[in-house]
Amino acid sequence: MDEENIYRKQTFGTKTGFGRSPALLVVDFVNGFVDPEIFGGGNIAEAVNATVPLLSFFRGQGLPVVFTRIVYADDGADTGIWCEKVPRLRELIELAPASQVVGELTPSSGEAVIRKTQASAFFGTHLSGILKAKGVDTLVIAGCTTSGCVRASVIDAISHDFRPILAADCVGDRALGPHEANLFDISEKYADVLSASQIIASLRR
């Protein structure tokens, strides 16, 4: 409560709303991030399920959808310091089952699937240009994990001057404490945080 007062007084948490042209970014919803034996666990599987109708809505409206996967070279030639910090990341290679988008959210033709090697969907990728070429100004973000690649992608989304909208029930994490803590930070500093149904209702208008 007291913390929220500090944030309010310092003007954090102002809503930035929707622009004219939204896209959906689905961050790292791959098999290895759902499986608790690899990088999954917590509420990630539920977040995948909650993303199904959101993805369906974007497709129904003909709005752009982009997916990301973490992918390193088979021989590790493009790994770096992050793979020293989290060594199992090196297992995420092009054809590894762990590195494929989950079946429930299989990408359709025309939906870019971006390979990335760092936490943010924008870092070392052409995501910003892909979205700009489509005239996108607003980025609805689903995926995992909230405290990892989602948080990093949200920061970069607003840094690239997109309007970020976090789909709160469509993001998940292996542990719920960091999930909640990061939803708070994101809401105060970087994105409007709305449920999938609120997002759909807003875009329908």
In the complex, least distance from residue 171 CB atom to its own copies, rounded to whole angstroms? 14
Active site (annotated) includes residue 149? yes
Task: Select from 156, 161, 118 the least CA-distant residue to 138.
Answer: 161
Asked if residue 98 lies in contact with residue 92, where contact means CB atoms within 8 angstroms, the answer is: yes
In order, the DSSP letters of 66-120 are EEEEE-B-TT-TT--HHHHHSGGGGG-BTT-GGGSBPGGGPPPTT-EEEEESSSS
Site for its own copies in 65-94 (CB under 8 A): 73, 75-82, 84-88
- Residue 63 lies near its own copies (rule: CB under 8 A): no
- Enumerate the H helices of the chain as residue ranges: 2-9, 31-34, 44-60, 81-85, 127-133, 151-159, 176-189, 196-204
Measured from the CB atom, the residue of 60 and 76 that comes closer to its own copies is 76
Measured from the CB atom, the residue of 25 and 155 that comes closer to its own copies is 155
Q: Which two tokens stand for residue 27?
A: 């961050």
Measured from the CB atom, the residue of 123 and 203 that comes closer to its own copies is 123
Which of 59, 178, 197, 203 binds its own copies (CB under 8 A)? It is 178
- Residue 177 lies near its own copies (rule: CB under 8 A): yes
User: Cα(165)–Cα(154) distance, rounded to whole angstroms?
Assistant: 8
Site for its own copies in 110-169 (CB under 8 A): 110-115, 117-120, 123-126, 128-130, 132-133, 135, 137, 147-148, 151-152, 155-156, 158-163
User: Cα(54)–Cα(200) distance, rounded to whole angstroms?
Assistant: 7
- Residue 58 lies near its own copies (rule: CB under 8 A): no
Taking residue 36's Cβ as centre, other Cβ atoms within 10 Å add up to: 11
Measured from the CB atom, the residue of 38 and 167 that comes closer to its own copies is 38
User: Cα(34)–Cα(72) distance, rounded to whole angstroms?
Assistant: 19
Measured from the CB atom, the residue of 14 and 205 that comes closer to its own copies is 14
Stretch that binds its own copies, among 52-60, 98-106, 182-190, 195-203 (CB under 8 A): 182-190
**Which of the residues are catalytic?**
149
